[in-house]
Amino acid sequence: MVEVERRPNPPGWVPPKAPYNPYDPTDVRPPGGYPSEFATPGKKVNWQSVPQNASEYKKVRETMKKLNYTPRPRSELYPGQYKVLRRINTYYNFNRGIKYAAYGLCFFGLTVSLFSRWNDGGYEHVFSDFYRAGLRFRQQMFGYLSEEQLKDLEAPRKISEGSKAARGAKPTNLDNSLAVESEYVMQRPTTGHFLQAQTTLQAAEEQKMREMDGNAIEAQIRQLEQLVYQEAPSEKKARWKFW
């Protein structure tokens, strides 16, 4: 294996130092300065874009950044202090318009959701009381309501079974299919009786349908057998006669 040795340093070579230390008396800068010291700040060179010359504003910013300098004018009223810049809100009208628009949208949405006629199916819902309050206010202010509004105001709409169950009421129905059995009504049919009767009827109907399907299939098979039996004797073998 060939050993690669490092080439010797040229005569007068000195190990490199840090960029520039102003507190080191031995670190003497070249008379023209380092190249990066007077380089014009601009766009960094890369493979995506073409470098451009820096504007005067960029040059000033770069210089101020190097000097760590912040432009603060001295105060004329308080000697030894600096002026404080007052923040000016240039978007005051825009922000005020946005705020008023948000308030208007919220007011409109609440008005529509609370005082409009929801759920046309005829059942009560959470906004029914607000809707009736709006109808009463309209009746007192304007003095007239439509027929539909009068019906909603005078006769409350029916409550769904789900809402009744949620409120703790016993579910009832006109056909007594959901009647609750008690000690006073022992012989009256209840939900379990109706379900058992429906299950029995459904099982009987399914059995009857299966029997009808089986009888129909057997009848078709018999008809096919009869047709085959009738056609079998009529077939005669062909005989070749030579005379």
Predicted confidence (pLDDT) per residue in 52-81, tens digit: 777 888 888 888 888 877 778 888 888 888
pLDDT at 106: 96
3-state SS, residue 74: strand
Q: What is the pLDDT averaged over residues 144-164?
A: 72
pLDDT at 177: 46
Q: What is the pLDDT averaged over residues 177-205?
A: 76
Average pLDDT of the chain to the nearest whole number: 76
How far is the CA of 71 from the CAs of 18, 55, 74, 77, 84, in angstroms? 30, 19, 10, 18, 11
Q: What is the pLDDT averaged over residues 134-157?
A: 83
pLDDT at 62: 83
Among 123, 173, 175, CA closest to 152: 123
* Mean pLDDT comparison of 88-102, 140-154, 228-242, highest-scoring range: 88-102
Residues of the chain above pLDDT 90, percent: 12
Cα distance between residue 33 and residue 14, in whole Å: 19
Q: What is the pLDDT averaged over residues 157-165?
A: 58
